[in-house]
Amino acid sequence: MLDARVVDRLRTVLGDRVDTSVESLTSAQADRSGHVSAGPPLAVVCAASIEDVQSVMRIATETRTPVVAQGARTGLAGGANAGPGEIALSLRAMDRVLEVRPDDLLAVVEPGILNGDLNAMLAEHGVWWAPDPASRAISTVGGNIATGAGGLLCAKYGAVRDAVLGLDVVLADGRLLHLGHRSVKGVTGLDLTSLFVGSEGTLGVVVGATLKLRRIVAGETLTIVATFPGAGDAAAGSAAVMAAGVQPAIMELMDATCVSATRAYLGLEPPASGAALLIVQTDGPAARAEAEQVADVLRGLGGDVTLSRDASESEQLLAVRRAVNPALQQSFGTALIEDVSVPRSALPAMFDEIVRVEREYELRIPAFAHAGDGNLHPHFVFSGDQVPDIVWDAADDLFRSALRLGGTLTGEHGIGVLKRRWLADELGDDQWELQRQIKAVFDPLGILNPGKVFAPSH
């Protein structure tokens, strides 16, 4: 059989880096979205070098075998799930920091390093990499790049797209490209680096990244927590903070269900019934003055405000937000975790839409948001192993609400498998087809992460 010959060829070149154990094959089928591929892949190849990746892609091209690049598999859209007839190409072992240049504010890293580990290492040099996803302790830099990840600090410091200077990429046929630059400026030719950020493994395999760093922020870090009667009120508070001209480092919103679940998870006293939280963090030399301004704005809107006294208390207050994902999982179990973004001024209206959809479809949809950039994460709670049709109908309604409000289907999780049916609705037929043509230039045989993003929906 062809499948057996492919595995034999991989083993001939890569030896024990080719893993066909049942445990590894089963793990490669799923990410954290709850979506599982239809069956196990042919093999998991644990690449340790660029040469390993090139060897895999050359064999894949010669045998017309699909390849799915994987990191820590913490994605929430099914974008890196490997299935029958495919090679799962794990980059997790490629986790070295190759270079740190504090003078040039850059670092060169391999894709398998964890986001949190990278920043722990960079701190020794007085610098940091700004992308701050909630999964920072368990997600890889390569995965952050593949999905165009964001996180809590996006409001002030930007997302992954703003923090990548260059990429090393292995194409479908095994060729190695060096994209981008090490300089602050660089506009030679088309910006292929930005094209690859957020491409979800459909254009090539990222094997190295030159990252744009920042110096560790001097001054205080303070956190303001404001309690409001409902999520709509808290969203109006976030809009008022932005309108006041303050630029928080973090501004997060949790609806009442998220607050109750998280406080129970952390063993804290239950909140007032229906209370929603707005958590705002300021940093830098002007942090205290900005925090007091934020507190005044939120009190003026009826918020019950607590202001941290120091960095330690600041982090304690923010810990409530960082615990929301495991708290919801503990409280509700299975959920379709979604990711839409709207203009910041439309955030109150989007929370109204969540309430409407929850009521009309008789579902429970706890939601929190990166309020500083208008990115919401509604959780569609359901029972069983498969997402029921009514949940997809409700999600469809909510996605279209986001588009009507001038927003987008995904702010940071990507399209993957779960959202491909709506992609053309946002892009329009002409742009959708143009993007498919661009993918075909990089992947003429269609072997890079097939069935994801640009695949026709069923």
**What CATH number should be reported for the domain whose range is 97-215?**
3.30.465.10
% of the chain exceeding 70 in pLDDT = 99
> Which spans in 113-248 are helix H?
115-122, 141-147, 154-157, 192-196, 231-243
Take residue 176 and report the two structure tokens written for it: 């190695």
User: Which pLDDT value is given to residue 132?
Assistant: 81
% of the chain exceeding 90 in pLDDT = 76
- pLDDT band, very low/low/confident/very high, at 1 (cuts 50, 70, 90): low
Query: By the 8 A CB rule, do 376 and 352 touch?
Result: no
Q: Among 116-120, 165-169, 214-218, which is the least confidently predicted range?
A: 214-218
Beta-carbon contacts of 452 under 8 Å, excluding residues fewer than 6 positions away, are 78, 79, 200, 201, 202, 415, 416, 417, 420
Take residue 98 and report the two structure tokens written for it: 């190759």
Cα separation, 167 vs 176, in Å, equals: 10
Query: By the 8 A CB rule, do 28 and 41 touch?
Result: yes
**What CATH number should be reported for the domain whose range is 220-404?**
3.40.462.10
Helix (H, G, I), strand (E, B) or coil at 438: helix
Take residue 232 and report the two structure tokens written for it: 């709509």
Going by C-alpha positions, the residue among 386, 384, 334 that lies closest to residue 364 is: 334
User: Which pLDDT value is given to residue 77?
Assistant: 85
Task: Report the pLDDT averaged over residues 61-65.
Answer: 97
Q: Which CATH class is domain 2-90?
A: alpha beta
User: Which pLDDT value is given to residue 458?
Assistant: 44
* CA triple 107-111-113, angle to 5 deg: 80
Query: By the 8 A CB rule, do 204 and 171 touch?
Result: yes
176-218, pLDDT tens digit by residue?
999 999 998 889 999 999 999 999 999 999 999 999 999 998 8
- pLDDT of residue 457 exceeding 80, the answer is no
- pLDDT of residue 298 exceeding 90, the answer is yes
**Cα torsion 402, 408, 413, 418: sign:** positive
Helix (H, G, I), strand (E, B) or coil at 240: helix
Query: By the 8 A CB rule, do 195 and 203 touch?
Result: yes
- pLDDT of residue 362 exceeding 50, the answer is yes
What's the full length of the chain, in residues?
Answer: 458
Q: What is the pTM of this model?
A: 0.91
Burial label, 124 (beta-carbon count in 10 A; 0-12, 13-18, 19+): exposed
Cα separation, 249 vs 244, in Å, equals: 15
User: Which pLDDT value is given to residue 293?
Assistant: 96
Query: By the 8 A CB rule, do 203 and 439 touch?
Result: yes
Going by C-alpha positions, the residue among 206, 232, 191 that lies closest to residue 149 is: 206
DSSP 342-365: --GGGHHHHHHHHHHHHHHTT---
What is the 8-class DSSP label of residue 411? S
Which residues lie across from 376 on neighbouring strands? 340, 369
Query: By the 8 A CB rule, do 314 and 281 touch?
Result: yes
What is the 8-class DSSP label of residue 162? G
User: Which pLDDT value is given to residue 172?
Assistant: 98
Task: Report the pLDDT averaged over residues 259-274.
Answer: 85
- pLDDT of residue 272 exceeding 90, the answer is no
CA dihedral 351, 355, 356, 361 (to 10 degrees): 130
The pLDDT mean for the chain works out to 92
Task: Report the pLDDT averaged over residues 266-279.
Answer: 84
- pLDDT of residue 289 exceeding 80, the answer is yes
> Which spans in 87-230 are helix H?
115-122, 141-147, 154-157, 192-196
Q: Helix 287-300 crosses helix 231-243 at what angle (to 10 degrees)?
A: 130
Cα separation, 190 vs 426, in Å, equals: 24
More confident site: 99 or 263: 99
- pLDDT of residue 242 exceeding 70, the answer is yes
Q: Among 65-69, 149-153, 212-216, which is the least confidently predicted range?
A: 149-153
Take residue 353 and report the two structure tokens written for it: 């839409």
Burial label, 110 (beta-carbon count in 10 A; 0-12, 13-18, 19+): buried
Cα separation, 266 vs 324, in Å, equals: 10
Task: Report the pLDDT averaged over residues 93-122.
Answer: 97
Which uninterrupted H or E stretch holds 260? helix 256-265
Query: By the 8 A CB rule, do 231 and 260 touch?
Result: no
Q: Among 243-252, 264-273, 281-290, 397-406, which is the least confidently predicted range?
A: 264-273
